[in-house]
Amino acid sequence: MQDFLPVTREEMKKRGWEQVDFVYVSGDAYVDHPSFGAAIIGRLLESRGYRVGMIPQPDWRKKESIQVFGRPRLGFLVTAGNMDSMVNHYTVSKKHRQKDAYSPGGQMGLRPDRAVVVYSNLIRQSYKDSPVILGGIEASLRRMAHYDYWENKVKHSILIDSGADLISYGMGEHSILEIAEALDSGIPIEEITYIAGTVYRTKDLLRAYEPIILPSFEEVKENKAVYAESFATQYRNTDPFTAKAMAESYGNRGYVIQNPPAMPLSTQEMDDVYDLPFTGEYHPMYKKKGGIPALEEIKFSLTSNRGCFGGCNFCALTFHQGRILQTRSHDSIIREAIKMTKAPDFKGYIHDVGGPTADFRHPSCKKQLTKGVCQNRQCLFPTPCKNLQADHKDYVLLLRKLRDIPGVKKVFVRSGVRFDYVLADPDKTFLRELVKYHVSGQLRVAPEHVSDQVLHYMGKPSHQVYLRFLEEFDKADKQAQKDQYAIPYFMSSHPGCTMKEAVKLAEYVRDLGYTPEQVQDFYPTPSTLSTCMYYTGIHPITKEKVYVPKNPHEKAIQRALMQYKNPANRELVLEGLKMAGRMDLVGFGPKCLIRPENSNRKKEQFHEKNKKTKKNRKR
């Protein structure tokens, strides 16, 4: 049990501790693996000499569940876990999910809705004056006023509703250590207002250094155009080199101030984090319940990078990890891989080597390391920037080294490659070796749609770019004498997708000759450009008006069109074709999606009539 941070008072006492410095409350089960944010922050604080006690998935109906270690010396750390609790609980159609991969045995119901707010309020019932610091993706993406899909309204910064003192947003390693040092030196929590990567509450603006004054909460709540304008300002201030502090007024409640993001981790700092003494396992207390399903997905995967300059509008990475790429060294990754091969249940397969985008291994251009990312330009959209350094040499070398490790049979790349970045690299070595060594029958890629209109609002390259990639993939596949396929992910109901565009996607699916298994309705999660479009009907950067499919029935039709072969979807598909004026796709021709109504009965009647005619002739 010494391998894990304590989860009970008894375990704390066995370590000779009378009190912990931090109590870490998480909506996830306790898994000591670097793919889990709570494990990273817990181990990082431990490495600096702080005593951390873990309370995973406390019973939020009982305040005693938060009192396991008593009052911590420095404060409480609160996270909903690796997933937003609302996304964890509900599908895009707001139906309850049946399984929670981050809970023992996949059991649902071990965390509350809006876990960060509930846990924080629970702490306040017992420890009114103890500092409460929020972290993780749920708090990070709700750090300012935000549109909430589940309640269909603009909600406060999570600091207001939770009663917490600080948010450590983004990945958090830099800011949490600075917070810990400040608290340890005796600085009151209300005076810790200077740390990059944090958000705090204040009565006035005296502590904020030249902040951008955002529209007030009341203004963004009442006016969608103002909300879009405020979001655009926040989006342009997500880079640690150029961002300014931002202040949002809550009237007589004071202000919520967001400091600029923390600086990205250097390679050495990334190595230091991933070299911490993780066990790589879930806590033994979960064994009887079947373990933690989420660990099985990533136990034998390797994180090689953070951040993403891909800039997809439906993704929250710009707000959370940022656009500047951060990487681990080859040595650090190989050390972890060698350790992995010694695990008794390792079968020789490394399931993935990557991050948000697998084949990004350095910033998109040299300027980013000193001046940050461009505020008004994307690296890959609508076409690759002329300053983009598309180079896979480092990633190819890393994959070669991993393949050569004794005990490793195969190294897969499953976290996704950015196909337009692959095409931008004039050297095709990576694509050839990807096809030859790192794909098992199917390579999953994410074109998301086939309509350039929709792709424009997604921040994705045109459909022709994807088709060019397929040509290159097939060429490499033939050279390797393989029989493999690129399997696309598609998304329905994204802002900008009318029924006409949905039918266009259905026609492409028809021409593929199979129904894609991976079909996802657009999910308006907090702090993405696409969610802002969904709520306001305005593209916050370009100010364009955007058509948004919001009606649940229309969304159901768009999804059904992608799975038009399913007989249960026939009426929805027919309705969609009528709405799009595409009744030419109803019939018996090879290009038709569905047959006419009662077509089977008409065929039966035709055959019956023929049979009778033949019988009469015989007579």
SS3 249: strand
The answer to whether 193 and 207 are in contact (CB under 8 A) is yes
CA neighbor of 262 nearest in space, from 238, 236, 246 = 238
At 553, list the tokens: 């029935």
Residue-wise DSSP of 449-502:
-S-HHHHHHHT---HHHHHHHHHHHHHHHHHTT---EEEEEEEES-TT--HHHH
Sequence-ordered list of residues with C-beta below 8 angstroms from that of 618, at least 6 positions apart, any chain: none
SS3 302: strand
Handedness of CA 197, 203, 208, 213 (dihedral sign): positive
β-sheet bridge partners, residue 411: 350
Is residue 415 classed exposed, middle or buried when 0-12, 13-18 and 19+ CB atoms within 10 A define those classes?
buried
At 384, list the tokens: 């690759």
Is residue 409 classed exposed, middle or buried when 0-12, 13-18 and 19+ CB atoms within 10 A define those classes?
exposed
CA neighbor of 155 nearest in space, from 117, 120, 201, 202 = 117
At 580, list the tokens: 């799009």
List strand residue ranges (DSSP E) for 409-484, in order.
410-411, 442-448
Q: Tell how strand 22-26 and strand 75-79 pair up.
A: parallel
At 114, list the tokens: 């809006």
DSSP single-letter state for residue 12: H
Query: Is 312 annotated among the ligand-binding residues?
Result: yes
The answer to whether 410 and 436 are in contact (CB under 8 A) is no
CA dist., res. 514 & res. 136, Å (int): 39
What's CA 325's distance to the chain center, in Å? 16
DSSP single-letter state for residue 61: T
CA dist., res. 566 & res. 561, Å (int): 10
The answer to whether 349 and 412 are in contact (CB under 8 A) is yes
CA dist., res. 285 & res. 95, Å (int): 30
Sequence-ordered list of residues with C-beta below 8 angstroms from that of 573, at least 6 positions apart, any chain: 506, 557, 560, 561, 564, 593, 594
CA neighbor of 590 nearest in space, from 512, 511, 516 = 511
At 401, list the tokens: 């080294």
Sequence-ordered list of residues with C-beta below 8 angstroms from that of 131, at least 6 positions apart, any chain: 74, 75, 76, 165, 166, 183, 189
Peptide bond just before 344 cis, omega within 30 deg: no
DSSP single-letter state for residue 361: -
Q: Tell how strand 352-354 and strand 166-168 pair up.
A: unpaired
The answer to whether 119 and 81 are in contact (CB under 8 A) is no
Query: Is 315 annotated among the ligand-binding residues?
Result: yes
Sequence-ordered list of residues with C-beta below 8 angstroms from that of 574, at least 6 positions apart, any chain: 586, 594, 597
Binding-site positions read 308, 312, 315
Binding-site positions for [4Fe-4S] cluster read 308, 312, 315
